[in-house]
Structure 1
Amino acid sequence: MADSQFPTLPNRLLLLFYLIPVIGFFPSLWTLYRRQGSKEQFALSRLSITLAGTWLLGYLLMGVGAETSEFPALRLLILNSFLTSGYFLVSLWLMFLLIQGKAVRLPGFSQWAERILSKHLP
């Protein structure tokens, strides 16, 4: 692969900021809202927003389920902690891939993020 396909160091640091769990959602959203950025920024912003949104939806649903259902609450709270740990580990893994200069994609999930958010955002 040519060096031009990999982001430069300042751009790579910005892309790392997008992958910070929970916090990276906001600069990602801002990048897509402004419609200014590189192809890599748009792709990673979509992935970051989809990851954070999926985590938040699952977190809220399991939290509400633990409070309202007769299903043992402890099981849902444990699943909730696994979901949160998984979100943080996937974000760290994606950061590691970015630092190594590899493609920052999740099989299936990246395509889903592109399909969902490209209809509404650039």
Structure 2
Amino acid sequence: MKDLPPERRDDFKRLEVFIYLIPVFGFLPAWWTLYRGEASAATRSACRLTVTLALIWLSGYILLGMSARSAEFPVLPLEIANSVWTTTYFLVNFGLMVRLWQRKPLWLPGFEKIGKRLP
């Protein structure tokens, strides 16, 4: 990839970030990139955002699922909340993909401080 012209390298980097933003499945490549620590600052920032979103979604998904299983009251509202939570996660990732496609910075309010705590 080093022998490619700069505009092609940018396209490959954008494609790499698109892969990180795939809901659920992009978590592992993003985490691995953060673990290795060999990426550019922009790529690390996108990986931090992806990992943060995935972990927040997963914790909410598990908590809502456990609440629905152990609830003594009607379960349907919790199941609806769980589906809305998952849909929101997918839509946020899709929105970030659209921003990346438009060559805008990947940014969500409130996630900068959370993501900077990751390596």
TM-score (norm 2): 0.89
Aligned to 1:79: 81
Aligned to 2:64: 62
1:31 corresponds, among 30, 33, 39, to 33
- Once the two structures are superposed, the pairs formed by residues 1-122 of structure 1 within 5 Å of their partners are 8-114=10-116, 116-117=117-118, 121=119
> SS of the counterpart of 2:107?
coil
**Identity between Structure 1 and Structure 2 (%):** 46
> SS of the counterpart of 2:24?
coil
Deviations 1:45-88 (A, max 9, x none): 01000100000000000000000022321111100000000000
The alignment's C-alpha RMSD in Å is 1.4
> SS of the counterpart of 2:50?
helix
Deviates more, 1:19-28 or 1:102-111: 102-111
Q: How many Å separate the matches in 2 of 1:82 and 1:106?
A: 19
> SS of the counterpart of 2:46?
helix
Q: How many Å separate the matches in 1 of 2:85 and 2:112?
A: 18
Amino acid at match of 2:24: V
Structure 1, unmatched stretches of 5+, are none
Which aligned runs of 4 or more in structure 1 are off by greater than 4 angstroms?
none
Paired residue total: 112
Q: How many Å separate the matches in 1 of 2:27 and 2:10?
A: 22
TM-score (norm 1): 0.87
